[in-house]
Amino acid sequence: MHHTGYKPDTVVVIGAGNAMDSALQKGLQKVGFRVQLLSAEQFIEGGLPEGVRPIIVNAASCAGGIRMPEAKAVCHALLNQSCHAILHLSSYGVFGHVGSRKIDEDAEPDPLSERGRDWFACEQTLTSLDNVSILRLGWQVDRSEQALLGRIIRSLLDGRAVSLDDASLGNPVTVSDLVRVVVAITQQLASGAPTSGLYHYGSADTCTAMDFGHEVVDRMRSLNGDDFTAELTVLEPAEKDRSYVLACVRLRDVFGIQQRSWRQGLTRQVELWLERLQKPAS
């Protein structure tokens, strides 16, 4: 096997049980890492494989609200593991109402929702370790069928109207862009970069859910024909501004990672979801 020069050259991915898992595994393998994918349950029960001191990419918290008890248990289990570094994937959800201002890495978390408190509890569990990097992500649009992209496409294929927020801004993250960022960070962690830090990542351009929905419809029309019809309706405006836009300066300064537009690769993402949702049941 060609020697990559990574030290270590092994990565353990603790999965979310959704589309992120195989994408992370393939992305890391593509650049030469030896990768082992473990479910949250496998890691909680068995810990790390014997004889390795890897980099751990912990995506367990990205499984969604129903799996947060397992995500918390993973974080507690990580306290007793010997590894080179941990890259823990977190969320903008650790913040409360912040309005239109950008959220930088020095902002104090103040989660208002139960899920936000779960995200923050995971972070707090790991802060006692000196080799943890926390990567807070913008709004993840396509990690599962319950995320926005899958919900929009499924509803439109079923001929149902989709109601979307047209007021609150975010800088969303697609799975493909998340993989790009995680792979770049992991490569640098294995090449001498600092193994602890707090970082934010979201797309270079902001949008509302409605903006995103219109772009998805455009892609569906390009794939299914101009006669494709879709109805997008506006949700009633919220009493408070629910915008969450992450500033991502520290990630650029430490790792040199630039933000990309969420529109990049969107056509391919729509195509993959259409293939999945239109595939005949076997």
Mean pLDDT of all residues in 175-201: 96
End-to-end CA distance of the chain: 39
Between CA 21 and CA 154 the distance in angstroms is 22
Mean pLDDT (whole number) for 9-34? 95
How far is 207 from 212, CA to CA, in rounded Å? 7
For residue range 27-70, list pLDDT tens digits in order: 999 999 999 999 999 999 999 988 889 999 999 999 877 899 99
Q: What is the mean pLDDT of residues 273-281?
A: 73
pTM of this structure: 0.92
Task: Decide if 28 contacts 51 (C-beta within 8 A).
Answer: no
Select from 275, 251, 71 the least CA-distant residue to 171: 251
Q: Of 37-41, 109-113, 211-215, which range is least confident?
A: 109-113
By CB atoms closer than 10 A (0-12, 13-18, 19+), residue 241 is middle
Give the torsion sign (CA, 241, 64, 12, 142).
negative
- % of the chain beyond a pLDDT of 90: 67
How much is the average pLDDT of 174-185? Answer: 95
Domain layout of the chain by residue ranges = 10-276
Q: Is 158 exposed, middle or buried (0-12, 13-18, 19+ CB in 10 A)?
A: exposed
Q: Which fold has domain 10-276?
A: Rossmann fold (3.40.50)
pLDDT digits (tens, 9 = 90+) for 140-154: 888 777 788 988 998
183 has a pLDDT exceeding 80: yes
